[in-house]
Amino acid sequence: MKTVLKFGGASIQDAERIRNVRGIVQSYQEKEPILVVSALGKTTNDLEEILKQWYQQNPIWKTSLNQLLAIHLNIATALSSNASHALQALFGELESFLSNENRSKTFDQYYDHIIAYGELASTTLLAIYFQESGLACEWVDARKIIRTDNHFRDVNIDWKETEHLAKERFHTNKLYLTQGFIGATANGETTTLGREGSDYTASILSYCLEAKEMIIWKDVAGVMNADPKLVPEASVLSKISYREAVEMTYFGAKVIHPKTIKPLQNKHIPLLVKCFLDPSLEGTIISEATPQTPYPPIIVWKDQQVLLSIQDKDFSFIAEKHLTSIFNLFNQHRVHIHLMQNSAISFSVCVDANPRVSDLIKDLSHQFDVVRNEGMRLLTIRHYDESTIAKHLAGNEVLVEQRSRSTIQLVTRKK
C-alpha cells in the first residue's frame, strides 16, 4: 500500500531544506512513497507577477523570468546538481511560449499554463538531485494523471479518469515524484487546482490509489487551535476528526487546503500533519475517530472578506424566489459564500474579496440593491466560550453574528 507524502514550497525553499526533504523521503522508502511537491518557496507568487507583467505587455517580464531561473539555478549549484540544463530548457520553453503567444485565450487559461511551471521546475530539480545522490525515483507529469474540466483556476476533477490513469501509472512500488496543484483537461490543456492546491492533489492520489496514509509536511509542529502568529499561546492538537478538520479549514484555517479532507474521509485514509523541521515530533493525526478529550476553543480568522447586503428594489420580503435567483448568480460567478443571514427584507453574505465579486454585483443589481462593505474579517470560533469570544473580539466591531451549539461566526472590522 502506498504512502503519499506532500511537501510544500517552504520545505524546499533552499538547498539545505531540499537535503532535509531527501533525508525524510529516504526514511519512508519501505512505505512505497509517492511524493507530491509544490513549487520552490514563493515561486508561485513570482510567476503570478510575471504573468501580470506579460499580460500588461510590460517587457520587464523577461527580466523577472530570468531572475526566477537564477534562483532555481543557484539552488541546483548549492546542491552540486547537474539540473541546470533541464531547468534552463524548462524556463526557455516558457519564455518562447510567452514571446510567441498571440493572446487569443482567456486570462485564466494563461494563468494555469504559466503558473504550472513552478511545480514543473521544482520537481525537475528534485528528481535530478535525488537520482544523482543515489535515491532512485521516477518523475511523473501530473498533467497526465489529474484529469479536470476546463474551469481554469478552479477546476473540478474527473474522478473516474484520474483513478484509472493513477492506477495505471503508479503500479510499481518505486519511489514516484510528481507535481502538486496541476492537472490537465482531456484536450491536454494545463489546469490548476486553486492556490495551495498541492494538498488536494495528494489527497486525490491517496483516494485513487487507496493509500495507507497521507502525510503533509509543514514548518509547524502540527495542526494548531489557532494561528500562532496571531495567538501566541496556540497549541498543537494531537488528534482531530475529519469533521473538525473540514470545519476549520473551510472557514479559513490555512494549515490544509479545505478540499483535502473529503477524498480521505471517503476512503478512511488517515492524514498526518508533521513538521519537516523536526520529523521526530508526533504531529497531528486526522481520522474518523473523535478524540476522547474535548476540543479546546479553535480560533480561525479569515481576512479580506466582503459583506454584501442584498435587498429587493421595491422593499419586498426576501422570499424563496429571491433566494433562488441570488444563489443561481453566486453559482454562475463562482463566488463562494462563507456566511449568510436574512432578515425580512435583506439578505447578507460574507465572501472572499476577489474580482469576480464586482461582476456578481453588476448582475445582482438588475433586480436588487446591493450594499458592499469591504475590509471585513470573519472570525470563526469552534467550541467557543464567552471569555474566548471576548478576548479575540477586543478592538473589533461586529456587523453580523451567528451561533450554533458548537460554532460562533462573526463578521468584524477594526474599530
Per-residue mark of binding to ligand ASP, 109-138 (x: CB under 6 A) = ---------x--------------------
Nearest approach in angstroms of CB 218 to ligand ASP is 12
CA distance 357 to 351: 8
Kindly write out the interface string for residues 334-363 of this chain, putting x where it contacts ligand ASP by CB under 6 A and - elsewhere.
------------------------------
What are the C-alpha distances in Å from 45 to residues 17, 195, 373?
20, 10, 27
Q: Using the rule CB under 6 A, is 38 a contact of ligand ASP? A: yes
Nearer to ligand ASP (CB atom), residue 120 or residue 339: 120
| Smallest separation, CB 97 to ligand ASP (Å) | 19
Which residue, chain included where needed, has cell 538547498?
15
Compute the least distance from the CB of residue 312 to ligand ASP, in Å.
39
Q: Which phi and psi (to 5°) does residue 186 adopt?
A: -60, -25
Q: How far is the CB of 180 from ligand ASP (least distance, A)?
A: 5
User: In this complex, which beta carbon is closest to ligand ASP, that of residue 12 or of residue 76?
Assistant: 12
Would you count residue 41 as binding ligand ASP (CB under 6 A)?
Answer: no
Residue from 39, 264, 340, 376 touching ligand ASP (CB under 6 A): that is 39
Give me the 162-181 binding string for ligand ASP, x by CB under 6 A, dash otherwise.
------------------xx
Residue 177: Cβ within 10 Å count = 25
* Distance between CA atoms of residues 200 and 277, nearest Å: 22
**Quick one: 118 or 222, whose CB is closer to ligand ASP?**
118
Closest CB 43 distance from ligand ASP, rounded Å: 7
Q: Please say which residue, 40 or 128, places its beta carbon nearer to ligand ASP.
A: 40
Residues of span 70-109 touching ligand ASP by CB under 6 A:
none
Shortest Cβ distance from residue 42 to ligand ASP (Å)? 8
Q: In sequence order, what DSSP letters do the residues of 334-370 get, joined into one string?
A: TPPEEEEEE-SSEEEEEEE--THHHHHHHHHTTTEEE
Q: Which of residues 6-25 bind ligand ASP (CB under 6 A)?
A: 8-9
Residue 292 CB, shortest distance to ligand ASP, in Å, is 33
Q: In whole angstroms, how close is the CB of 230 to ligand ASP at the nearest point?
A: 21
The answer to whether the beta carbons of residues 273 and 256 sit under 8 Å apart is yes
Structural element, H or E, at residue 66: helix 61-78
* # binding residues, ligand ASP (CB under 6 A): 12
Neighbouring C-beta atoms of residue 78, cutoff 10 Å: 13
Q: Check if the beta carbon of residue 320 is closer than 8 Å to that of residue 405.
A: no
Nearer to ligand ASP, 6 or 392 (CB): 6
Minimum distance of ligand ASP from residue 47's CB (angstroms): 9
Residue 310 bridge partners (DSSP): 347, 370
Contact flags string 180-219 toward ligand ASP, x per CB under 6 A: xx-------------xxxx---------------------
Instruction: Answer yes or no: are the C-beta atoms of 408 and 321 closer than 8 Å.
Output: no
Which residue number, 257 or 382, has a Cβ lying nearer to ligand ASP? 257
* Nine cell digits for residue 372: 458592499
Q: Where are the beta strands (DSSP E) in 206-353?
A: 213-218, 239-241, 271-275, 284-287, 298-312, 337-342, 346-352
| Residue (of 235, 348, 239, 338) closest to 287 by Cα position | 239
CB of 104 to ligand ASP, least distance (A): 26
Find how far residue 307's CA is from the centre of its chain: 23
Taking CB under 6 A as the rule, does residue 44 contact ligand ASP?
A: yes
Does position 258 bind ligand ASP by CB under 6 A?
Answer: no
Burial level of 165, CB count in 10 A (0-12/13-18/19+)?
middle
Instruction: Give the binding site for ligand ASP (CB under 6 A).
Output: 8-9, 38-39, 44, 118, 180-181, 195-198
